[in-house]
Chain A
Amino acid sequence: MALGPIFRSTLRNPTGAVLIALQIALTLAIASNTFYMVKQRIDKMNRDTGVVNAELLTARVFYFGSAVDQEAQADIDRKALMEIPGVKSVSYSNSIPLGGSNNTSSLCFEQEGSVLGDDNCPHSPSYYRSDVNFHETMGLKLLSGRWLNDSDAIESESISSTASRTMLLSDVLAKLYFPEGSAVGKQLYLGGRPLTVVGVYERMLRPGSGGTNPDHTILAAEPQTSGYLSIRIESDRIEQVKEKLEATMVGLNDQRVVSVIRTLDEVAERTYRRDKAMVVLLLGVVALLLVVTALGVAGLVSFTVANRKKQIGTRRALGASKRDILGYFMSENFAITATALLLGGFLAYALNQYLLQSYQLSRLEVVYVFIAAGCLLFISQMATLLPALRASRVSPAIATRTV
Chain B
Amino acid sequence: MLVYYSKLAWRHILQTPVLSLLIVMAIALGIGASMTMISYYKAMAHNPAEERSDSLFAVQLAAYGNDMEEWGRDSDGLPIQLTHQDVKNLREAELSFPRTGMYQFMTVVTSQREGVAPSNDYAGRFVDRDFFNMFDVKFLYGEPWSAQVDKEGDKHAVISKSLSEWIFGEANSVGKTFVMIDGEMLFTVVGVYEDFNPQPAYYDLSTSYFPGEGPGVFLPYSSVDTLGRFPMGNISGWFPEEVNSHADLMKSEYVWQVFWVKLDNEEQREQYRAFLKAYSEEQNKLGRFQNPNPRGDIKDVKTWLEYNEVINEDNKVMVGLSLLFLLVCLVNAVGLLLAKFLRKMNEAGIRRALGASKRQIFSQYLVEVGMLGVLGGLLGLILAAFGLWAVRELYETDIARLDPTLFMGALALSLFASLLTGILPALRVCNSNPSLFLKAQ
Direct chain A–B contact by Cβ atoms under 8 Å = yes
Give the interface of A toward B (CB within 8 A). Answer: 15-16, 19-20, 22-23, 26-27, 29-30, 34, 37, 62, 64-66, 105, 112, 156-161, 191-193, 250, 255, 257, 259, 273-274, 276-278, 280-282, 284-285, 288-289, 292-293, 295-296, 299-300, 302-303, 306-307, 355, 358-360, 402-403
Contact of A64 among B25, B183, B245 (CB under 8 A): B183
Contacts of A250 in B (CB 8 A): 117
Contact with A along B240-283 (1 / 0, CB 8 A): 11111100010010100000000000000000000000000000
Among B118, B237, B329, B394, which residue has its beta carbon within 8 angstroms of that of A276?
B394
Bound: A233/B334 CA distance, A: 61
For the complex, is B187 an interface residue (Cβ under 8 Å from A)? no
Q: Does B325 contact A (CB under 8 A)?
A: yes
Q: Are A285 and B183 in contact, with the CB atoms below 8 A?
A: no
Query: What is the CA–CA distance of A64 and B117 in the complex, to the nearest angstrom?
Result: 12
Q: List 5 A-B contacts (CB under 8 A).
A: A159-B243, A273-B394, A292-B30, A296-B26, A402-B440
Inter-chain contact B394/A289, CB cutoff 8 Å: no
A26-B327, A277-B395, A360-B313 given; A34·B321 CB < 8 A: yes
Instruction: Please indicate the chain B residues that have their CB under 8 angstroms from the CB of A282 in the complex.
Output: 318, 321
A185 to chain B, nearest CB (A): 23
> Do the beta carbons of B328 and A359 come within 8 Å of each other?
no
B332 pairs with A296, CB closer than 8 A: yes
Q: Does B435 make an interface contact (CB < 8 A)?
A: no
The answer on a CB contact under 8 Å between A19 and B327 is: no
Question: From residue B340, how far is it (CB to closest CB) to chain A in Å?
Answer: 8
Instruction: Specify which of B29, B184, B245 is in contact with A288 (CB 8 Å cutoff).
Output: B29
Contact of B182 among A64, A273, A295, A359 (CB under 8 A): A64
Does B332 contact A23, Cβ atoms closer than 8 Å?
Answer: yes
Q: Does B336 contact A (CB under 8 A)?
A: yes
The reply to whether B26 and A160 form a contact with Cβ atoms under 8 Å apart is no
Contact of A66 with B391 at beta-carbon distance under 8 Å, contacts A160-B240, A292-B328 already known: no
Would A359 and B313 count as touching, CB distance under 8 A? yes
Which residue on A lies nearest to B249, using beta carbons? A159
- Partner of B328 from the list A27, A158, A302 (CB cut-off 8 Å) is A27
What are the residues of chain A within 8 A of B328 when measuring CB–CB? 23, 26-27, 30, 289, 292-293
Q: Which of A157, A255, A284, A303 contacts B339 (CB 8 A)?
A: A303
Question: Could you tell me the distance between the alpha carbons of A402 and B322 in the complex, rounded to whole angstroms?
Answer: 48
Residues on A with C-beta less than 8 A from B428 are 15
Q: With A23-B331, A295-B332, A403-B441 as given contacts, are A281 and B22 in contact (CB-CB < 8 Å)?
A: no
Residues of A within 8 A of B108 (CB): 62, 64, 257
Cα separation A302 to B18 with both chains bound (whole Å): 11
Q: Please list the residues of chain B having a beta carbon within 8 angstroms of any beta carbon in chain A.
A: 19, 22, 25-26, 29-30, 33, 106-108, 117-121, 181-184, 230, 235, 237, 239-245, 249, 252, 254, 312-314, 316-318, 321-322, 324-325, 327-329, 331-332, 334-336, 338-339, 342-343, 390-391, 394-396, 428, 440-441
CB distance from B234 to the nearest CB of A (A): 9
Which of the residues B25, B243, B334 comes within 8 Å of A158, measured between beta carbons? B243
The answer for the CA separation of A295 and B19 in the assembled complex, in Å, is 10
A65 touches B182 (CB 8 A): yes
Q: Which residues of A contact B441 (CB under 8 A)?
A: 402-403
Contact B391 A26 (CB under 8 A): no
| Complex contacts, A306 vs chain B, CB 8 Å | 343
CB-CB under 8 A from A284, the residues of chain B are 390
Instruction: Give the distance in Å from the alpha carbon of A148 to the alpha carbon of B33 in the complex.
Output: 54
Residue of A nearest to B313 (CB): A359
A193 to B241, CA, bound (A): 10
Identify which of B331, B332, B394, B440 contacts A281 (C-beta below 8 A). Answer: B394
Shortest Cβ distance from B145 into chain A, in angstroms?
Answer: 23
- Known contacts A64-B183, A159-B230, A355-B317; A295/B25 CB under 8 A: yes
Residues of B close to A64: CB separation below 8 A: 107-108, 118, 120, 181-183
Contact B395 A273 (CB under 8 A): yes
Residue from A16, A281, A307 whose CB has the most chain B CB atoms within 10 Å: A281
A359 adjacent to B339 (CB under 8 Å) = no
Q: Which of A255, A289, A300 contacts B183 (CB 8 A)?
A: A255
Tell me the bound Cα distance from A192 to B332 in angstroms.
63
Residue from B19, B120, B240, B322 whose CB has the most chain A CB atoms within 10 Å? B240
Q: Which residues of the partner chain A approach B332 to less than 8 Å between Cβ atoms? A: 19, 23, 292-293, 295-296
What distance in Å separates the Cβ of B342 from its nearest Cβ neighbour in chain A? Answer: 7
Chain A minimum-CB-distance residue to B328: A26
Complexed CA–CA distance, A158 and B325 (Å): 53
Q: Which residue of A lies closest to B117 (CB)?
A: A250
Residues from chain A with a CB closer than 8 A to the CB of B30 are 292
B325 touches A285 (CB 8 A): yes
Contact A192 B317 (CB under 8 A): no
Nearest residue (CB) in B for A296 is B332
